[in-house]
Structure 1
């Protein structure tokens, strides 16, 4: 498995989804779809429109990104949170 800590993009990152021209802005990580209960790496909204309705959320995994158009803001808090998130994911996968 790739190093999740290094691969997870920060909130605010703008990406392109494989096989789709619409750009998306990431606003959540390690999200669970309330309808399917499936866990996804990211939840995003259409960019530049933003989160216009609950049914417009797009859930996807890191491997589905074809291009990072803009990388979101990163500081020490973001890096610490990403490390903690990666550790939690690793523990969950070992269970």
Structure 2
């Protein structure tokens, strides 16, 4: 990975998207026939999590605009190291 992932709480708009999404998970595995790892798990902003049908997984390169970057502290910086070591499947 060449860049750090955005922290939880970040708000983004995806390419070809109009609705803001708030990130609440990172390095998520979607359990399909062939499990696939995604950089982010998000839900609509400002509504928040409503149901699984309104939870979205996507990768960093799918982001068009970063509206807000979530809270970052020492603990987040340490967790970025863990995220960087997590390999995509």
Q: Please give the TM-score of this superposition, normalised by the length of structure 1.
A: 0.84
Q: Pick from 38, 60, 83 the counterpart of residue 40 of structure 1.
A: 38
Corresponding residue SS for 2:48 = coil
Figure out how many residues of one structure are paired with residues of the other and give that number: 88
CA distance in 1, matches of 2:13, 2:62: 9
- Could you list the runs of 5+ residues in structure 1 that have no partner in the other structure? none
The counterpart of 1:80, out of the listed 53, 78, 85, is 78
Mapping 1:1-95, distance limit 5 Å: 3-4=2-3, 6=4, 8-35=5-32, 37-89=35-87
Report the RMSD for the aligned CA atoms in angstroms: 1.6
Cα distance between partner residues in 2 of 1:35 and 1:46: 23
Moved over 6 A (4+): none
Q: Tell me, which stretches of 5 or more residues in structure 2 are unaligned?
A: none
Using structure 2 for the length normalisation, give the TM-score.
Answer: 0.89
Distance (whole Å) between structure 2 residues aligned to residue 70 and residue 23 of structure 1? 10
Which has more helix, going by share of residues?
Answer: 1
Q: Distance in 2 between matches of 1:87 and 1:14?
A: 24
